Amino acid sequence: MRVETLIGLVYSAIGLVAYVLSMVATVALRKQIFSPAFMALYSIAAVVVNLATHVNTWILYRLRFEPNFAFYFELMSNPTFAFFKSIQLFCTNYYYFAQNACVFLLTLNRYTDRSFTIITLLTFVAQAANILVVIITSVFYYQENTEGVKPLTAILPVTSDLFSLGPAVYALLVPGPIKSFYRELYRMAMRKLLIVILPDKVIQKLIMMENAQQG
């Protein structure tokens, strides 16, 4: 396996975990903060569109250079499977369009927490970079500039992955309801751990200090 593929596999796993964590927090906070419309949009954008785009991009751009997956691309080059190849190429453009539509709808949603404004802005920047790379690559292909295409073909999967996996990571890093949810969960877990480990007298002193700070 190439080093680039291995690195992509590592951050793909991190992105998948980030999506699971963000969805768990979103479901837990759905009655307190999030509107039903936001829940539907975020679920479709996160679980369906972004992850499907990521998998499709992996197949087209990452696994193309892996010897163990050469059989797949040889199969797709067979005229018998031309229809399936066309579907996969169509899905590449369709998923990018669907991602843009989801980001636009999330931005228009009445849920206006500042953190999600920042998240949609970061997602927009990632997609703008992705589109810019695609345009420049197309220009170089038209000019038959192979030296210019080589570095861009390495950058394109990264910008695409950043757009697909980024929103979940942003939701965990940008100050907002999801980050606050896990911060409070961490504090509760630490308190329970301290209760098990520390003596009762130390715990009582800590409780008194905490009450004094709140008072």
pLDDT in tens, 100-118: 777 766 666 655 566 777 7
DSSP letter for 50, please.
I
CA-to-CA distance for 148 and 139, rounded, in angstroms?
10
Long-range contacts of 64-71 (CB under 8 A, 24+ apart): 65/2, 65/5, 66/1, 66/2, 66/5, 68/1
Q: List b or e across 176-208, with b for residues whose CB sees 16 or more CB atoms inside 10 angstroms.
A: bbbbebeeeeeeeeeeeeeeeeeeeeeeeeeee
168 and 22 in contact (C-beta within 8 Å)?
yes
Q: Once rounded to an integer, what is the mean pLDDT over residues 195-204?
A: 68
No. of H helices and E strands in the chain?
9, 0
Amino acid 88 reads Q
**What is the chain's mean pLDDT, rounded?**
76
> HSE on the CB side for 117, CA within 13 Å?
5
Predicted pLDDT of residue 207: 65
Residues contacting residue 49 through CB under 8 Å, at least 6 positions apart: 95, 98, 99, 102
176 and 26 in contact (C-beta within 8 Å)?
no
Summarize pLDDT for 41-97 with one digit per residue, the tens: 777 776 677 888 888 878 777 777 777 877 877 877 788 877 777 777 777 767 777
163 and 130 in contact (C-beta within 8 Å)?
yes
Predicted pLDDT of residue 214: 58
Residues contacting residue 127 through CB under 8 Å, at least 6 positions apart: 96, 99, 100, 103, 163
Summarize pLDDT for 176-187 with one digit per residue, the tens: 788 888 888 888
CA–CA–CA angle 74, 77, 83 (5° rounding)? 130
Predicted pLDDT of residue 203: 63
Domain boundaries in the chain? 3-175, 184-215
Q: Which residue's structure tokens are 């590592």? A: 10
Residues contacting residue 175 through CB under 8 Å, at least 6 positions apart: 115
CA-to-CA distance for 189 and 191, rounded, in angstroms?
5
